[in-house]
Structure 1
Amino acid sequence: MRGLNGKVVVITGGGGGIGSATCRRFAEEGARVVVADIDGEAAERVVDGIKSRGGEAIVMVVDLTDYAATGSGVARIEAEFGPIEILVNNAGWDLFIPFLKSEPDYWTKIIDINLRSVLNITKPVLASMVARGKGGRVVSLGSDAGRGGSAGESVYSACKAGVIALSKTLAREHARHGVTFNTVCPGVTETAMLESFMAAAGDKEKLRAAFTKAVPLGRLGRPDDLPGAILFLASDEAAFITGQVISVSGGLTMHG
């Protein structure tokens, strides 16, 4: 896609399923990839894979729930690797718990990982983009749970709805700076997070069958289904698109 070659892109949660698939696709387009993850070993594996194919990538080990540490990490990356031109907010975590059985400690963890982390890294990256005056791209991973709600995911759904609203608001605030903000919402996708979610919910195979039956295209999502939409929104092909939400869900969620 146009406009990705040579760009510095940070992908949070880059060591996981969707994150690692996205890192690899950016590298294939010639982007210089920063694999940001709290799990350094997972991030290293992704970087090693990219380098083995001739791509350029580095690891950023960071706890995104720590604002100061995240800001320091962004400053280090920009000093050592170059200005961040694309940010993909992908890091996330969930656990199936009905709301009345959940406790404040759980709420805090869900909010910190799924919403506060987006705030913590978006602010320093955006400030740098605005200061340089050359625009930029921010693509955040929401969730169809944030668009339509999802039983057993009340706080997670609220966080993802917040990510969508944040992206739309920042799209309005920073259109004049040439920074676009868009959100990609996965549907039910085969990741480690889904496995843990289904394990907590009960009968995994029964739940998997129910999820699959609900998807018009007849299967669950795969990590490789997501990078196409993410890269498009980060590319020059989407230069006139901002404040939008795209579901990649096999038709599970349809919005007019």
Structure 2
Amino acid sequence: MTGVASVAMSDLAGRRAVVTGAAGGIGRACAARLAAAGATVVAVDRDADALAKLTAELDVRPVVADLADLDAVDTLDLDVDIVVNNAGLQHVAPVEEFPPERFSYLLRVMLEAPFRIVRRALPHMYGRGWGRVVTISSVHGLVASPYKAAYVAAKHGVEGLSKVVALEGAEHGVTSNCVSPSYVNTPLVAGQVAAQAEQLGIGEDRVVDEVMLGPAAVKRLIEPAEVAEAVAFLCGDAASAITGSSLRLDGGWTAR
């Protein structure tokens, strides 16, 4: 079998990976998938209890850190071969009511922290002549939706950051790509339903059917494991010529 399924159990043996937001959702699926491929996984999350549950189930190395604290980000051990920038959060409000401090918080977690992580990981990757940077972006890194000013701005920003890293890292054997899913079956997405229903003045069932799945050709939520398979593929040798790209995993959400 070819494609993402070609990343076998031993393909990433000897590689060290860091995954942010690793205690749940997409991050947990990525940590599990990279560990299954043989990588040593450093799982970063601010939720110590959730990390403890993760380490009880997976052979990963837990690190408790809040990515909104940029000084704490700068203390992380980033001598790694693979970076998966995944941590994220959402806030739904019209621009004129969007709290500026909340806007700044989302950008710290989803744009500034990824920049600082990659900045400090690249020297190790350059020294080894091999590296993979994968950023979990979103369809909202490619198109916009109302009421999500900070999330859309952050995701557009990391798409650009990823391309710059791709251009600078190519001569050192480092690739940099985004995976851009539509709505994924995670607690983050579940938490948006009520907020969007309130903003739009419609029922929660209509939010799922019309807002989240309305633009998609495939009428279902994406599963975290599907995103993790795409990440694993981009980390493997079969993807060594893929860089500066944004892999749309959106069921046709952006095809119209």
In 2, distance between residues paired with 1:186 and 1:107?
A: 22
Partner of 1:11: 19
Matches within 5 A, 1:18-97: 18-50=26-58, 56-74=59-77, 83-97=79-93
1:113 to 2:114 alignment: no
1:207 to 2:207 alignment: yes
Query: Could you say what the CA RMSD is over the residues aligned between the two structures, in angstroms?
Result: 1.6
Residues 233-252 of structure 1: CA deviation (Å, up to 9, x unaligned): 11111111111101111111
Residue pair 2:16, 2:81 contacting (<8 A) in 1 also: yes
Residues 193-225 of structure 1: CA deviation (Å, up to 9, x unaligned): 112222212232220121224321121112122
Partner of 1:147: 142
Residues 90-118 of structure 1: CA deviation (Å, up to 9, x unaligned): 00011211112112112111111111111
Residue of structure 2 aligned with 1:174, choices 160, 169, 172: 169
Residue pair 1:36, 1:61 contacting (<8 A) in 2 also: yes
Residue pair 1:142, 1:184 contacting (<8 A) in 2 also: yes
Q: What is the CA-CA distance between 1:27 and the residue it aligns to?
A: 1.6
Residues 12-62 of structure 1: CA deviation (Å, up to 9, x unaligned): 000120111111111211211111111122122222211xxxxx3110111
Residues 166-193 of structure 1: CA deviation (Å, up to 9, x unaligned): 0001111121111110000110112111
Q: Secondary structure at the match of 2:176?
A: strand
Q: Secondary structure at the match of 1:35?
A: strand
Residue pair 1:34, 1:57 contacting (<8 A) in 2 also: yes
Gap regions ≥5 residues in structure 1: 51-55, 76-82
In 2, distance between residues paired with 1:119 and 1:64?
A: 11
Q: Secondary structure at the match of 2:74?
A: helix
Q: What is the CA-CA distance between 1:136 and the residue it aligns to?
A: 0.6
**Length-normalised TM-score, structure 2:** 0.89
Structure 1 consecutive aligned stretches of length 4 or more whose deviation exceeds 3 Å: none
Partner of 2:3: none
**Length-normalised TM-score, structure 1:** 0.89
Residue pair 2:136, 2:178 contacting (<8 A) in 1 also: yes
In 2, distance between residues paired with 1:111 and 1:67?
A: 11
Question: Higher mean Cα deviation, 241-250 or 209-218?
Answer: 209-218
1:220 to 2:221 alignment: yes
Partner of 1:241: 242
Query: What is the percent sequence identity of the aligned residues?
Result: 32
Aligned length: 242
Q: Secondary structure at the match of 1:87?
A: strand
Gap regions ≥5 residues in structure 2: 1-6, 198-202
Residue pair 1:129, 1:136 contacting (<8 A) in 2 also: yes
